[in-house]
């Protein structure tokens, strides 16, 4: 089988522990699959003394991840620290030292992925990151290899399990946002500080990674428009269902005539859309291309098992290529400064919930403002406000129009006597063609 390959783990949390267990439990099978024995030689941990049992098993422990990343007896560095620093510095150091790297770090790959991949290519080593998006869903490999014959036109994804769990609880069980969040935190799906998930930051990182691959362009998280789910109320899900839609936290990347349309926000999707049936902590990614039409991948998006599966698969692939003497895969040329579509010019239908005074003439007053901005109203529903008398919920959906026109409508209605509160604005998935 040839000489062994040394593995260095940076981080032994939930995923790191899963990778450690898998490599040890399946050592013989993995050796036969990749042609080399994989030896765990070193690991970086926060508290060395607390993991002393691992040291007794022969694993070298260090509190310094940079030390593990550059050890001479380590051939493949597995970065599972998370966050931008010191993870990015460790990845760069390992690549510069001629070591291949496997990472699950969506933040680093979103912010510095193209530069890191270019460094890996210059040094003749691999940088693999399947686990950075979608957990156990093999979407990175699909975009890199299986769909390379396609001209990809769009990627739509549900790629944050926390928000999808909360949205499912609000829709199915009628929970408020606060109750859904507490439930997610109790079950370990949400952090004590949930901002990265509920404000769409995590999903924006992941969409930047997917869009870069799908469109062969340098896309960063700052290029992705995002909104979170904090403004959603349980009654919005009932209104959406009555209109024939489900609400999902959708990440969308489309190629349009005006450039790349990159958005993460709560979205109304038709009940017949496969995305509408993705519930709980599941993730799903839909890719549309000129040859395949549309392909949908769905599965567990987080957790020790699915993420460890993706990490170990990358390790085995890298090890197999090293064992057979194959050169690292070349990266496709990237557009370093792709044109980005203006959100104001994106054409979509919209769902709006207002709190309005319960009096005659309100609908006519609102209708006049919509008409003055060229926005065509598709439907109107008025229901009693759930907690305040003398006011009502007014649900308005529009036909497809420029997003900027809705901005102008809302600006004109702000402070208007016709509107007590602008409750929520949700874009609807079935917009006009570009």
Beta bridge partners of 424: 353
User: What CATH number is associated with residue 407?
Assistant: 3.30.70.260
Q: Mean pLDDT over residues 19-26, rounded? A: 95
Residues 111 and 197 reside in one and the same domain: no
Strand 259-270 and strand 293-300: the pairing is: unpaired
Q: Which residue has the tokens 């890199």?
A: 144
Look over the chain and give the mean of its residue pLDDT values, rounded to a whole number: 93
Q: Mean pLDDT over residues 228-236, rounded? A: 95
Q: Do the domain assignments include residue 392?
A: yes
C-alpha closest to that of 203 among 156, 236, 272, 245: 156
Q: Residue 18: what pLDDT?
A: 93
Q: Do the domain assignments include residue 332?
A: no
Tokens at residue 11, please?
Answer: 């981080």
Residues 131 and 204 reside in one and the same domain: no
Residues 74 and 176 reside in one and the same domain: no
User: What CATH number is associated with residue 225?
Assistant: 3.30.360.10
Tokens at residue 35, please?
Answer: 């042609």
How does 8-43 read in b/e, with b if 16+ C-beta sit within 10 Å? Answer: bbbbbeebbbbbbebbeeeeeebbeebbbbbbbbbb
Residue 242 has pLDDT above 80, yes or no: yes
Q: At what angle do helices 362-372 and 403-413 cross, to 10 degrees?
A: 140
Confidence of residue 2 (pLDDT cuts 50, 70, 90): low
Residues 294 and 161 reside in one and the same domain: yes
Residues 164 and 179 reside in one and the same domain: yes
Residues 272 and 373 reside in one and the same domain: no
Residue 29 has pLDDT above 90, yes or no: yes
Q: Mean pLDDT over residues 175-190, rounded? A: 95
- What pLDDT digit, counting tens, does each position of 336-364 carry? 999 999 999 999 999 999 999 988 888 99
Residues 411 and 313 reside in one and the same domain: no
Residues 199 and 296 reside in one and the same domain: yes
Residue 432 has pLDDT above 50, yes or no: no
% of the chain residues with pLDDT over 90: 83
Q: Do the domain assignments include residue 433?
A: no
Residues 152 and 292 reside in one and the same domain: yes
| Residue 356 belongs to domain spanning | 343-428
15-to-20, 48, 78, 108 alpha-carbon distances in Å:
9, 18, 11, 17
Q: Mean pLDDT over residues 394-409, rounded? A: 97
From the list 99, 106, 111, 206, the catalytic residue is 206
Confidence of residue 420 (pLDDT cuts 50, 70, 90): confident
Q: Do the domain assignments include residue 388?
A: yes
* Residue 259 exposed, middle or buried by CB count within 10 Å (0-12, 13-18, 19+): middle
Residues 43 and 108 reside in one and the same domain: yes
Q: Do the domain assignments include residue 116?
A: yes
Q: What is the pTM of this model?
A: 0.94
Q: Is 206 tagged catalytic?
A: yes
Confidence of residue 5 (pLDDT cuts 50, 70, 90): very high
Pick the last residue of a domain from 323, 354, 370. Answer: 323
Higher pLDDT, 172 or 55: 172
Q: Mean pLDDT over residues 242-257, rounded? A: 97
Pick the last residue of a domain from 288, 323, 358. Answer: 323
Pick the last residue of a domain from 300, 335, 367. Answer: 300
Q: Do the domain assignments include residue 409?
A: yes
Residue 317 has pLDDT above 70, yes or no: yes
Q: Are 186 and 235 in contact (CB under 8 A)?
A: no
Higher pLDDT, 98 or 359: 98
Residue 186 has pLDDT above 80, yes or no: yes
Q: Residue 87: what pLDDT?
A: 97
Residue 282 has pLDDT above 50, yes or no: yes
Instruction: Work out how many domains the chain is built from and give that number.
Output: 3
Q: Residue 433: what pLDDT?
A: 46
Alpha helices of 147-233 — where are they, by DSSP H?
161-173, 177-186, 195-198, 201-215
Q: Residue 431: what pLDDT?
A: 45
Q: Mean pLDDT over residues 313-338, rounded? A: 91
Q: Are 409 and 373 in contact (CB under 8 A)?
A: yes
312-to-84, 99, 140 alpha-carbon distances in Å:
22, 17, 14
Q: Do the domain assignments include residue 331?
A: no
User: What CATH number is associated with residue 57?
Assistant: 3.40.50.720
Q: How many helices (H) and strands (E) does the chain have?
A: 15, 18
Q: Do the domain assignments include residue 171?
A: yes
Residues 293 and 312 reside in one and the same domain: no
- Taking the C-alpha atoms of residue 244 and residue 285, their distance in angstroms, rounded to an integer, is 22
- What pLDDT digit, counting tens, does each position of 42-87 carry? 999 999 988 888 887 789 999 999 999 999 999 999 999 999 999 9
Three-class secondary structure of residue 60 per DSSP: strand
Residues 30 and 130 reside in one and the same domain: yes
């Amino acid at each position: 089988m040839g000489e062994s390959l040394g593995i260095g783990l940076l981080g032994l949390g939930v995923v790191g522990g899963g990778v450690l267990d898998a490599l040890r439990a399946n050592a013989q099978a993995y050796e036969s699959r990749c042609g080399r024995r994989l030896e765990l030689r070193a690991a970086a941990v926060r508290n060395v003394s607390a993991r002393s049992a691992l040291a007794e098993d022969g694993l070298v422990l260090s509190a310094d991840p940079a030390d593990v990343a550059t050890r001479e007896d380590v051939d493949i560095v597995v970065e599972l620290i998370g966050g931008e620093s010191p993870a990015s510095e460790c990845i760069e150091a390992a690549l510069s030292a001629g070591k291949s790297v496997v990472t699950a770090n969506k933040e680093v790959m979103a912010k510095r992925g193209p530069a890191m991949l270019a460094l890996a290519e210059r040094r003749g080593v691999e940088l693999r990151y399947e686990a950075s998006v979608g957990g156990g869903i093999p979407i990175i490999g699909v975009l890199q290899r299986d769909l390379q014959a396609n001209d990809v036109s769009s990627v739509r994804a549900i790629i944050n399990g926390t928000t999808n769990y909360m949205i499912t609880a609000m829709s199915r069980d009628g929970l408020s946002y606060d109750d859904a969040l507490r439930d997610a935190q109790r079950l370990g799906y949400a952090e004590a500080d949930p901002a990265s998930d509920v404000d769409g930051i995590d999903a924006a990182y992941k969409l930047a990674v997917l869009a870069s691959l799908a469109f062969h362009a340098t896309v960063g998280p700052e290029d992705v428009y995002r909104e979170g789910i904090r403004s959603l109320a349980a009654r919005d899900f009932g209104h959406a269902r009555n209109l024939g839609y489900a609400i999902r936290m959708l990440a969308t990347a489309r190629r349009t005539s005006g450039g790349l349309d990159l958005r993460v926000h709560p979205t109304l999707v038709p009940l017949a859309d496969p995305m509408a049936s993705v519930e709980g902590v599941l993730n799903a990614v839909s890719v549309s291309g000129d040859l395949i039409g549309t392909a949908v991948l769905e599965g567990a998006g987080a957790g020790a098992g699915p993420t460890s599966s993706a990490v170990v698969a990358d390790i085995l692939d890298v090890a197999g290529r090293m064992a057979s003497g194959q050169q690292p895969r070349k990266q496709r040329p990237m557009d370093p400064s792709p044109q980005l579509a203006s959100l104001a010019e994106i054409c979509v239908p919209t769902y709006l919930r207002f709190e309005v005074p319960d009096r005659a003439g309100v609908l006519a007053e609102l209708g006049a403002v919509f008409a003055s901005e060229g926005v065509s109203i598709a439907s109107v529903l008025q229901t009693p406000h759930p907690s305040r008398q003398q006011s009502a919920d007014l649900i308005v959906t529009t036909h497809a129009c420029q997003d900027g026109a809705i901005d102008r409508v809302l600006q004109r209605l702000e402070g208007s006597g016709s509107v007590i509160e602008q409750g929520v604005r949700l874009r609807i998935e079935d917009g006009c063609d570009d």
